């Protein structure tokens, strides 16, 4: 029994310790952990879920990228195979020439070409031909014209005119289509791009490709980009270059025939002869590349074409879909968030047990503290009020000429104080509206004759101290007006203005102006009474405005009345709520 009691006591102490931590989190590092525990649980579990989802995302994305790289390599391999077939075609013709030991006749050449396999692998080949390598001159031109007449029965000299020392006019070209017939006699050496490839083939004694050109077989109205492959042919005995076996190709046909093989690849291809630029572009697929967010990055590969390097960029087309869907990644992320939320809610529900008990304890302590504070505040207010009443009674007694005069003046001042206290009580002793306080005081003295149009100014919410001070000030000013000033007759006027203005010595100043005028000049006695600075009313106004509110009081007498100007710091007389509104509005 004793041991169980010790255990219960220990558990109660632990509970109180945890409650103290929860109640005073700034005292302990552990308390910070306690407060953020649900958020921390959510963050950690969600982070783990997100990391798992991110890992899954990158794994799948990497797999999709590798799959797309494989597709790109397949596409480039297809184009490379097609180019390789074209190279074999030119080499096979060159081998035929070597086997014959001489340039064959047009008829023999035609028979040989007709026996070549004409399958889809030769798509894009415009023809197969032979160009003589001769020195520029009249005799060579006549020889070429005679060979063209003998081979194809056409009367044509080498063309165009050239200033080069060498010529390579076409003398054999099969098949004998109209387009190819137009190319017979064309001096390829006269064109710079073709000449560069011819010189490279002669210098290296092997197959070489030209850069991008416009084939002479093409329709000028719809030209297609093309290139040519050259391989030199030498005389068997002397080793002298007799000419070049060549073949022209349409570049779009080369790519399309290679890429349109089944299965169709979901790619968009762009190719350049050399480094990518607008001038080196040789091919671009129809349509547009994919613009999906998770599309693979472009793959750029090089393709060697008989001594030239083509750059081929492969992008996914609009028909591309990734090999592996990312749905699993989103499911992992969603599952991680749901699990994190469930654990955070569970952690928070466990904390509520401690927090509810702590809230009840804090509420009880707060109620006790509020009651104690209220009692202290009441004591303070009562002491201040008694002191103010005693001061008013002493000052009123000094300035009164009889008991009735004292009773009337003292009662009026007490009534002014009670009115301001009543107005404060409506707002829990926190504030009072200046206009309401002023009108309440003036109505008590002037009744229904008060002209509210004479009161002009913005809404000012006075704090507790300022409300009491202005309440007494309004009473004194109204009493003096009734006794000695403009309120003695029906023709007198009273103008009251107030406004908040900037000040050179403080951020803002509340200026209150009291201006009263009589139609007839005041008598000496009344004028002296209004201007008297040693009287109780003046002392009361000066004490409340200068001492309590830190302001100033200016009294300017006039033969027809008096001007009273009160200046007080704006921030000392308005409530915090009014001050915040004004700052925000500024």
Higher pLDDT, 88 or 396: 88
Q: Is the pTM of this model over 0.75?
A: no
DSSP summary character for residue 548: I
Buried b (16+ CB within 10 A) or exposed e, 39-63: eebbeebbeebbeebeebbeebbee
> Residue 501: which H helix or E strand, with range?
strand 493-501
Q: According to CATH, what is the number of the domain 400-585?
A: 3.30.565.10
With a CB cutoff of 8 Å and minimum separation 6, the contacts of 84 are none
The answer on pLDDT for 24 being more than 80 is no
The answer on pLDDT for 525 being more than 50 is yes
Q: How confident is the model at residue 206 (pLDDT cuts 50, 70, 90)?
A: very high
**Span 441-469, pLDDT tens digits:** 776 556 556 677 778 998 888 888 888 78
Q: How confident is the model at residue 424 (pLDDT cuts 50, 70, 90)?
A: low
Q: In what order do the strands lie in the sheet with 509-517?
A: 455-456, 493-501, 509-517, 561-569, 552-558
Question: In this predicted structure, what is the pLDDT of residue 273?
Answer: 94
C-alpha span between 180 and 176 (Å, rounded): 6
The answer on pLDDT for 7 being more than 50 is no
The answer on pLDDT for 69 being more than 50 is yes
The answer on pLDDT for 412 being more than 50 is yes
Question: In this predicted structure, what is the pLDDT of residue 41?
Answer: 76
Of 117-121, 174-178, 301-305, 511-515, the range with the highest mean pLDDT is: 301-305
Q: How confident is the model at residue 203 (pLDDT cuts 50, 70, 90)?
A: very high
| Percentage of the chain exceeding pLDDT 70 | 78
- Per-residue pLDDT, averaged over 232-261, amounts to 90
The per-residue pLDDT of the chain, averaged, comes to: 81
Domain range summary for the chain, segments of one domain joined by +? 10-100+327-367, 103-255, 400-585
Tell the CATH superfamily of the 103-255 domain.
CHASE domain (3.30.450.350)
């Amino acid at each position: 029994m004793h041991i169980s009691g010790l255990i219960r006591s220990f558990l109660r102490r632990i509970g109180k310790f945890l409650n103290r931590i929860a109640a005073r989190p700034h005292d302990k590092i552990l308390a910070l952990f306690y407060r953020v525990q649900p958020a921390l649980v959510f963050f950690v579990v969600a982070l783990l879920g997100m990391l798992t989802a991110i890992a899954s995302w990158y794994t799948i994305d990497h797999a999709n990228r590798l799959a797309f790289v494989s597709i790109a390599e397949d596409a480039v391999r297809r184009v490379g195979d097609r180019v390789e077939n074209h190279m074999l075609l030119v080499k096979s013709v060159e081998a035929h020439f070597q086997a014959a030991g001489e340039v064959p006749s047009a008829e023999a050449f035609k028979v040989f070409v007709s026996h070549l396999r004409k399958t889809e692998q030769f798509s894009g080949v415009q023809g197969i031909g032979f160009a003589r390598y001769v020195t520029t001159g009249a005799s060579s031109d006549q020889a070429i014209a005679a060979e063209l007449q003998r081979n194809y029965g056409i009367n044509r000299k080498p063309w165009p005119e050239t200033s080069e020392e060498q010529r390579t006019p076409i003398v054999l070209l099969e098949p004998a289509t109209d387009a190819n017939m137009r190319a017979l006699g064309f001096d390829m050496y006269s064109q710079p791009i073709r000449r560069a490839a011819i010189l490279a083939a002669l210098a290296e004694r092997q197959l070489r490709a030209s850069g991008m050109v416009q084939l002479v077989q093409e329709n000028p109205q719809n030209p297609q980009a093309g290139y040519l492959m050259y391989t030199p042919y030498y005389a068997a005995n002397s080793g002298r270059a007799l000419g070049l076996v060549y073949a022209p190709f349409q570049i779009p046909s080369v790519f399309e025939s290679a890429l349109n093989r089944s299965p169709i690849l979901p790619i968009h291809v762009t190719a350049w002869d050399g480094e990518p630029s607008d001038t080196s572009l040789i091919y671009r697929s129809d349509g547009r590349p994919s613009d999906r967010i998770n599309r693979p990055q472009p793959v750029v590969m090089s393709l060697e074409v008989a001594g030239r390097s083509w750059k081929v960029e492969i992008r996914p087309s609009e028909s591309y879909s990734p090999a592996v869907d990312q749905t699993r990644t989103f499911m992992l992320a969603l599952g991680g968030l749901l699990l994190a939320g469930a654990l955070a809610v569970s952690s928070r529900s466990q904390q509520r047990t401690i927090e509810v008990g702590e809230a009840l304890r804090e509420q009880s302590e707060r109620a006790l503290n509020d009651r104690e504070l209220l009692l202290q505040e009441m004591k303070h207010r009562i002491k201040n009020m008694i002191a103010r009443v005693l001061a008013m009674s002493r000052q009123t007694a000094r300035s009164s000429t009889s008991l009735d005069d004292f009773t009337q003046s003292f009662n009026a001042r007490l009534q002014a104080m009670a009115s301001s206290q009543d107005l404060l009580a409506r707002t829990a002793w926190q504030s009072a509206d200046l206009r309401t306080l002023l009108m309440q005081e003036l109505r008590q003295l002037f009744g229904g004759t008060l002209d509210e149009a004479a009161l002009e100014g913005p809404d000012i919410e006075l704090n507790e101290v300022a409300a009491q001070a202005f309440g007494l000030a309004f009473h004194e000013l109204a009493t003096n007006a009734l006794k000695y000033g403009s309120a003695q007759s029906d023709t007198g006027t009273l103008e009251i203005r107030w406004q908040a203005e900037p000040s050179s010595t403080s951020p803002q100043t509340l200026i209150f102006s009291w201006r009263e005028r009589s139609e007839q000049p005041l008598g000496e006695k009344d004028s002296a009474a209004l201007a008297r600075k040693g009287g109780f009313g003046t002392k009361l106004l000066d004490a409340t405005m200068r001492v309590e509110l830190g302001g100033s009081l200016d009294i300017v007498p006039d033969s027809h009345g008096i001007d009273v100007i009160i200046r007080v710091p704006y921030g000392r007389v308005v409530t915090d709520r009014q001050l915040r509104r004004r700052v925000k509005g500024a």
